[in-house]
Amino acid sequence: MSDTNFDLVIIGGGPGGYVAAIRAAQLKMKVAVVEHQHLGGICLNWGCIPTKALLRSAEIYRQMQHAKDYGLSADGIGFDLKAIVDRSRKVSGQLSSGIGHLLKKNKVTVFDGYGKLAGKGKVAVTKDNKLITTLSAKNIILATGARARVLPGMEPDGKLIWYYKDALVPNDVPKRLLVIGSGAIGIEFANFFHTLGSQTTVVEMMDRIVPAEDAEVSAFLQKSLTKDGLKIMTSVGVKVLKAGKDSVSATLEVDGVTHVEEFDRVIVAAGIVGNVENIGLETTKVHVDRTHVTTNEWCETDEPGVYAIGDIAGPPWLAHKASHEGMLCVEKIAGLKDLHPMNTDHIAGCTYCHPQVASVGLTEAQAKERGHKLKVGRFPFQANGKAIALGEPEGFIKTIFDEKTGELLGAHMVGAEVTELIQGFVVAMGLETTEAELMHTVFPHPTLSEMMHESVLDAYGRAVHF
């Protein structure tokens, strides 16, 4: 392609890169995206979207098994794993092609290849180790994302020891499954395979599962999953995995004592590392800290004209954070006024297990560490009419306020559809809403959202239905 001069070049076409490209195009910039594999990135192709498709199948299967509880009958209940996986892949494929259409619609030029910084304002594009072209731009955004962390002694083989990509396209449901790591990825896969019949064990190095969540949420989720039949082991280290012909021997360490357990499959979900290699950082002032590029609140690196967004730029490692950074970064480049820098305390996190988990802001422990005197409210699902009618009376909503100012510091939920409810509190935080505004808001009835209201009321001793 003869035209190689652009206002902005973005290396990476994931949820950060493609959103940044579209916003830049809206602001009349001439934009290029360099992507070597999948438009939409890991999230759309091998992460958020396909996992939710799998989990939806598991959710419906679970509900079918409890048809009698709803006055219904369903005989011969079963599943076709291949069909479940095929549906998941089709969902991702549909959305990936949609991203290509959006970029074309916005007149964004897409280069199929690897992008690498090649001097000030230059990006070299290669394919099959051959230079295709060199692009020029005043501004360059790094949006190369991250990949699964490979731990020594636990390297994936794609057959018996899985990472997330392997777990998304299984050929069978393992009878005995070990999941290493209890963050969102680990818990979601554990929930999926357990629902389909795997005897599932989750091991976590920390003293509780989903350790980034509020301690009460962690305790409730662990109790719920254990009641459902999952085996949860906390404060446990995995020393080594040894793959045999048809099974894996896992050496586990508990209180300094090791023992070996056998599993048919193992899923390793032990975090991620940023894709900082082979993108030309060595000859720049870009600073890398523990595989992630250091940026300021405007996504600027230490190299003038070079920005970083999304997973490569550090936590929280969430697609919606990457997309927002993409828009923020581009608007800063364009010189727009009245911009608000990223506030990671206002970014919600969601885990789509059963029951679901969602949170935003500070946990109770974090709020206390920052010196706040607190007002804390809680409201249980079992006291909500809609939850009971749905047959989902398990869970609670917790809200945390600053006692002096009434500022909403955090909200933490576990239960049905809380991943949809959490955005109400995200908006409230963004508007600097206090308990007074939330109390005076009229919530519709009958809805699960009423519990949000009641939790706020409870923080001030005014809960009505509990």
Neighbours of 414 (CB within 10 A): 28
Question: In sequence order, what are the residues at sequence separation of 6 or more whose Cβ sits closer than 8 angstroms to the Cβ of residue 448?
Answer: 381, 384, 386, 387, 415, 416, 417, 418, 421
Q: Could you give the CA distance from residue 3 to residue 109 in angstroms, rounded to a whole number?
A: 10
Q: Could you give the CA distance from residue 375 to residue 259 in angstroms, rounded to a whole number?
A: 45
Q: Amino acid identity, residue 92?
A: S
On whether the CB atoms of residues 209 and 216 are closer than 8 A, the answer is: no
Rounded to 10 degrees, what is the CA torsion of 114, 116, 122, 128? -40
On whether the CB atoms of residues 8 and 139 are closer than 8 A, the answer is: yes
Rounded (10°) angle between helices 17-26 and 319-333: 30
On whether the CB atoms of residues 42 and 174 are closer than 8 A, the answer is: no
Question: In sequence order, what are the residues at sequence separation of 6 or more whose Cβ sits closer than 8 angstroms to the Cβ of residue 187?
Answer: 179, 202, 209, 210, 221, 225, 351, 353
Residue in 204, 173, 22 with CA at minimum distance from that of residue 98: 22
Structure tokens at 197: 């019949």
From the list 440, 445, 453, 465, the catalytic residue is 445
Structure tokens at 453: 């209201």
Q: Could you give the CA distance from residue 169 to residue 150 in angstroms, rounded to a whole number?
A: 19
> Does the annotation count 66 as an active-site position?
no
DSSP 314: -
Percentages helix, strand, coil for the chain (3-state, rounded to 5) are 35, 30, 35
DSSP secondary structure letters along 253-309? EETTEEEEEEESEEEE---EEE--TTSSGGGS---EETTEE---TTSB-SSTTEEE-
Structure tokens at 296: 């300021």
Question: In sequence order, what are the residues at sequence separation of 6 or more whose Cβ sits closer than 8 angstroms to the Cβ of residue 430?
Answer: 346
Q: How far is CA 102 from the centre of its chain?
A: 23
Question: In sequence order, what are the residues at sequence separation of 6 or more whose Cβ sits closer than 8 angstroms to the Cβ of residue 197?
Answer: 173, 175
Q: Which residue has the tokens 């070597």?
A: 36
- State how far the alpha carbon of 243 is from the alpha carbons of 204, 246, 247, 260, in Å: 21, 8, 6, 13
Active-site residues, by number, are: 445
